[in-house]
Structure 1
């Protein structure tokens, strides 16, 4: 556990009457349980009924679900270090998210700042994919991090990973003509080579070609991650290209992780619905939250999860894709998370009836009749009251970059 690691809890915490969901075969959503968490931030007892002592803080779940902590595999939280990043508290525990993975905001030249000023002080657990480009997303899409080989320092990138293996979980490369111009597949191949050396997964942003989404899939191997897998961009959508759709199916079958990575320009209701109707599910659900998508089409993790639920994913699958699956993708423990002695990291939430109109990244609307509503994020023995993000009035159309119009 990275977050909340400097101060032990003042008192034990008892979660009463929560319905477990997403913990595997040993859990059932029909029988509420109590969970005692000790001052050491680890699970002390799990039972159908636990009596609280005088020094125990009690959170009454009142039949809410308890799952492994929601884990957002793609966010941007290098606040102050890039012009798109949010503060962790804008998309973390207050939204039900206990673990976040910053997806390439920092490169080797500025990762030390992300670690010192964001990762280490945060109460959430924060990890990072290191950008292949040395400067990361300092001036996102105004100054490309991958202009040519002068943008990459192989030795320093390897050294940064080796010095920070406790928090760097892989490399990130943006494979899009908006970023790399005509450099095509070369950055992806180089990033993959470094990942083989470092024995880490590669996360690839797929967008406007070149390179082709098809060719990117050919470079990747088991454990690598394609984010924005259901984007609706011309030339990069699996809906408009049957050959690409089959390649995506084959990639998923050989262990490549298809990640939603909603973002301001990278998720299509039509593409996702078509893929789900044909049995192609995303392995992980993530938001790609940043300051141009927060009040635009994304809002938060709960709303993104609700969108996938509305498009046909089963409740259990949505929860798994938002908890244990992203943990596995970054090689964190994902089994037996309710066992005594394990670090406590949970999200308490309800699934409520709703009538909420939302948008995808292309501006298409959809109505949500069932909605994930986070109640608490539990990190160790600290319960953080949580609720969905309410976007600023008049901002639902999204915030494009004033310089280039980009909303990734």
Structure 2
């Protein structure tokens, strides 16, 4: 029996090594963790059933350390990524160092929030290097989020400070859409067309292709297409998508022109269920008319590949936009939070809260997960993320869906529903970074070694 077990172990280990391209754990077992018995939802691979997932652990980079009186010098250690090594109906529990019991829970790729504000600091203003923004790791993992895109806090002038201060200092995978305004989202300069430099923005993006995934126009007030044109020119030069957050104009700039004339396929309209939500011709146009119908040009835009992003924020989701749109089958391409100190304690709260809200308005669970994982990955051209393919980075979220009577107050009304998401565990690079109820640990004391 022992010989048969050894042969089975050896065949399985060497067979999976080719796919996972990872070495065994320190114990000699091929996997660090096996997530057992969870309902896996993976939009890229069309998985929506109970499966097991085996993963290998990664490690954080460590800087070189000079010698001291009490310790020798240590060389720098590069980071490694934990990987999804196997996904199957039943994986032998003996092949992992640790079992994560996900029975009765939902397992998804780590969530990707493509609209956050994480340029946290004390030396700037509004959402640039200021306290209105947030430090990434305190507000991601507890909601199942493993990757984020900072939506325009930084422009080309101060991106390298942002990279040092936020991107390189965070366990969360942080990427950025550069503000077309060189000084970024400091509030005062967002209407300064002279600071909207397409060439310099594109040059900075191409200098840091791992970190910059697009460009952002935000809050411009005025009836001219010049800011939009400069934004899209930056996108063209760097071959990256752009994200538009219209400010206001009197009368408003028509969305039909933005979507079907200015935008290229793959460009992103954020605050998609926002706007003025009234019959007024001023401010920002909404995509649902006053009769509760999605405007025909909006469907045309979706068909040509325009990305409709939520960017929920403090007041950028209107009841008379979001509820009738989903009821009509017009689902958001991507669900995102617009997370900052002004939104986190209001109706938005978190990505997991928004997932429950969209289920309450009639969006099926599998589509909610797709809009929070795989669709964002495609929108930012990072298709190595947002999925659980063998060999992909082991960024994973595990959720419980609680049953009860719940409410989501939003601008213009209140949504009621019976299902609310609760993050049980988040895994980043194959390492557990959040575990609400200790599902990776046996009950009782741990043996003293």
Query: Given the two structures, how large is their TM-score scaled by the length of structure 1?
Result: 0.84
* Residues 23 and 338 in structure 1, CA contact (< 8 A), matched pair in contact too: no
Report what 1:338 is aligned to.
388
TM-superposed CA distance for 1:95, in Å, is: 1.3
Native 8 Å contact 1:15 1:34 kept in 2? yes
The verdict on how the C-alpha distance between 1:59 and 1:276 changes in structure 2, with shifts beyond 3 A counting, is same
Q: Distance in 2 between matches of 1:340 and 1:148?
A: 46
Q: 1:215 aligns with which of 235, 241, 257?
A: 257
Counterpart-to-counterpart distance in 1, 2:132 and 2:330: 31
Cα 1:373/1:92, change in 2 over 3 Å: same
Q: Which runs of 5+ in 2 are unaligned?
A: 1-24, 59-80, 122-128, 279-283, 437-449
Query: 2:418 aligns to what?
Result: 369
> CA shift at 1:162, angstroms?
1.4
Comparing 258-267 and 334-343, the one that deviates more:
334-343
> How far is the alpha carbon of 1:336 from its aligned partner?
9.6
Q: Deviations over 1:138-162 (max 9, x none)?
A: 3x3xx1323232x223443222111
Structure 1 or 2, whichever has the larger Rg, is 2
Q: RMSD of aligned C-alpha atoms? A: 2.5
Q: Which moves more between the two structures, 239-248 or 305-314?
A: 239-248
Alignment counterpart, residue 310 of structure 2, candidates 251, 260, 267: 260
User: Relative to 1, partners in 2 of residues 1:342 and 1:294: Cα closer, same or farther, differing over 3 Å?
Assistant: same
2:295 partner SS: helix
Aligned to 1:36: 55
When normalised by structure 2's length, the TM-score is 0.76
Structure 2 distance, partners of 1:215, 1:364, is: 30
Please give the per-residue CA displacement for 1:237-287, whole angstroms capped at 9, x wherever unaligned. 222368982221111110000111111121112211111222221111111
Q: Report the equivalent of 1:130.
A: 178
Runs of 4+ aligned structure 1 residues displaced above 4 Å come to: 52-55, 241-244
Superposed, 1:49-64 pairs within 5 Å as: 49-52=90-93, 56-64=97-105
Residue 189, structure 1, aligned to residue 229, structure 2: yes
CA distance in structure 2 between the aligned counterparts of 1:123 and 1:193, rounded to whole angstroms:
32
The alpha-carbon deviation at position 116 of structure 1 amounts to: 0.9
The 8 Å contact of residues 23 and 68 in structure 1, kept in 2 or not, is answered as: no
**Cα distance change on mapping 1:279 and 1:49 into 2, 3 Å:** closer
* Residue 35 of structure 2: aligned partner: 15
After TM superposition, give the deviation of residue 168 of structure 1 in Å.
Answer: 0.4
* Aligned partner (choices 175, 185, 202) of residue 158 of structure 1: 202
The higher relative CO (CA closer than 8 Å, separation ≥ 6) is in 1
Is the Cα contact below 8 Å between 1:130 and 1:170 reproduced in 2?
A: yes
TM superposition shift of 1:181: 3.2
SS of structure 2 residue aligned to 1:356: strand
Displacement of 1:334 after TM fit? 5.5
Instruction: Say which of 135, 138, 142 aligns to 1:87.
Output: 135
Task: Give me the whole-angstrom Cα distance separating, in 2, the residues matched to 1:335 and 1:292.
Answer: 29
Give the number of aligned pairs: 370
* Superposition deviation, residue 44 in structure 1: 2.4
C-alpha distance 49-278 of structure 1, shift in aligned 2 (>3 A) = closer
Residue number in structure 2 paired with 1:100: 148
Displacement of 1:103 after TM fit?
0.5
- Separation (CA, whole Å) in 1 of partners of 2:257 and 2:96: 59
Is 1:246 aligned to 2:296, yes or no? yes
Instruction: State whether residues 173 and 203 of structure 1, in contact with CA within 8 Å, keep that contact through their aligned partners in structure 2.
Output: yes
Q: Distance in 2 between matches of 1:147 and 1:355?
A: 47
Task: Indicate yes or no: 2:119 matched with 1:78.
Answer: yes
